[in-house]
Every structure is written in structure tokens, then in C-alpha cells.
Amino acid sequence: MTWITASFPYLAPEIIEKFGAITTTRKEGVSLAPFCSFNLATHVGDKLTHVRANRAILREHLSSFHSLCEPYWLEQTHSVKVLELPQQYFYECATDKVPEADASFTRKPQTTCVVMTADCLPLLIVNDDATEVAAVHAGWKGLANGIIEQTMNAMTSSNETLHVWLGPAIGPNAFEVGEDVRQQFVQQSNTYSPCFSAKQGQSTETKATENKLTKENKYLADIYALAKVQLKALGVRYISGGEYCTYSQSELFFSYRKEGQTGRMASLIWIKN
């Protein structure tokens, strides 16, 4: 198993030792093409035996940090639903189905928050004394609808004490969106405007006639910048990460936009004993 350790440069070393935060890559698993090879998602069409084997490898890695090594997997639906672990998770957990949510948080040690992505933005969050952590799945829909704000509203820590790492997502040179997506942000605030650049040969002006948006207008969106605008507006001062591109770094990451049918990485965070 190959993973990326989340970086929190504004935390003291003794605080960093109190928690773990990683993102898996697509390397060193057992899944076959098009899911090769470390796919952790059960909903993408991969053989369940392969997914279970990959999750077992992940559990083995986590077991070196804590005994409760099974992550609290979510059924992600691009919602703004947030669950506290483990209380709300078990309350909503059906017999054969994991709860629907796109973020989770906990103050309990040895409890692993996890989200899966393959172009969407994963955010890993920890407060300044490592007593509360969270994982957020933020595609453009979740960002536009306020998944980050909802997560921070649910947490007990004040926003100015939070440290946020932006995990691997589709980069600003690859994330093409339409005018409809751009409008969902800029209608909320003009501070989002710099996060969109018109594709070459297009004007940045909205091509609208009689208040009807044309389908031809295409933009490149910076999902990292969109998240940073929101985080700063929420009073978050400590932001790191945002240097990867799942679309262009296909040797490391799954990319739904590039591959269509593909696997998923996991971003995980937990408090140690």
C-alpha cells in the first residue's frame, strides 16, 4: 500500500504526533483494470473480493496506529450531511447499508473518519490540540451547497483553531465546467470569480440572452481555490495542501473525469490514543 501523509505545517511536532492523516493512492492493490489496483470503493463495479482484500490491506496499515482499525465508510451522495462518529453513525446505520453523508467528525480516539474521491476534493481537518478531527468530501456540488460550512458548524472547535489539508483533487488545468456551474458560485459571491478562467478563445463575460445561459460557455475551475475562498470566509487561518492533480497524475490517482469507470482513493484522519 502506498499513501500520502497529510501535511499540517502550522502545527507543532508534538501535536502532529497525536493524530494520523493520510490519503491512499491507486498503487499496490489487487484490483484489476479498470480499477487497478488499490480501489477501496464497493459501488464502482469492482469485484467485491478485490475491494475487501484492499480494505484488509488498509486495516493492516491502520492497526499499527490503533486497534479500532475499520474506518467509518460513508455512502457519499454530494450532500451537505455531516455525521458525528461513532454516535450518529450507528444510529443511522442500516443492517446492510452504511449511512448516507459526505462528511464525518469525531472527538473520540481510535475512530477513523474517511471519505473516498476520484477527482472531488477531500479535506482533512484537525483542531490545534488534536482533540477533534473531520474528513469532508467536496465536489463542486458540495462546495456550492456548503458542505465545508456545515461540517464546521457541526464541530465543537472554533474555526480559527482548525487546520485544513486539501487532499488530491482534479487540478485547475483539467477541471472543465459550464456556465451553469460558474453561476452557482458567482451568484453567491463575486469572490469566486477568480476561481474560473474562460477556456482559450472565449470571453470571460457571461454569454446570456434573455437571462438564458448558453451551453457553449466553458471554464476551467480551480476547486482548490474555491475551497480556500470558503475556508477564509469561515475564519480558517491554517490551510495546506492543494498541490496534486488527479487527472494529470494518473500513475498515482484514480480520475473519474479521465477514465470514466475507475476506482476510488480514501482520505482518512483519526486521533491516536
| pLDDT tens sequence across 164-221 | 999 999 999 999 999 999 999 999 999 999 999 998 754 444 434 334 444 568 999 9
**Region 3-170+235-271: CATH code:** 3.60.140.10
Mean pLDDT over each residue of the chain, to the nearest integer = 92
Q: How far is CA 120 from the centre of its chain?
A: 6
Domain ranges of the chain: 3-170+235-271, 176-221
Quote the pTM value: 0.92
Residues 6 or more apart from 89 whose CB is under 8 A from it?
72, 83, 99, 104
Give pLDDT, residue 67: 63
Q: If pLDDT is split at 50, 70 and 90, which confidence band does 123 have?
A: very high
**Angle formed at CA 147 by CA 146 and CA 150, multiple of 5 degrees:** 85
d(CA 242, CA 195): 14
Give pLDDT, residue 273: 82
Give pLDDT, residue 249: 97
pLDDT tens string 222-246: 999 999 999 999 999 999 999 999 9
> Could you tell me which residue, 215 or 152, shows the higher pLDDT?
152
Q: If pLDDT is split at 50, 70 and 90, which confidence band does 129 have?
A: very high
Give pLDDT, residue 95: 56
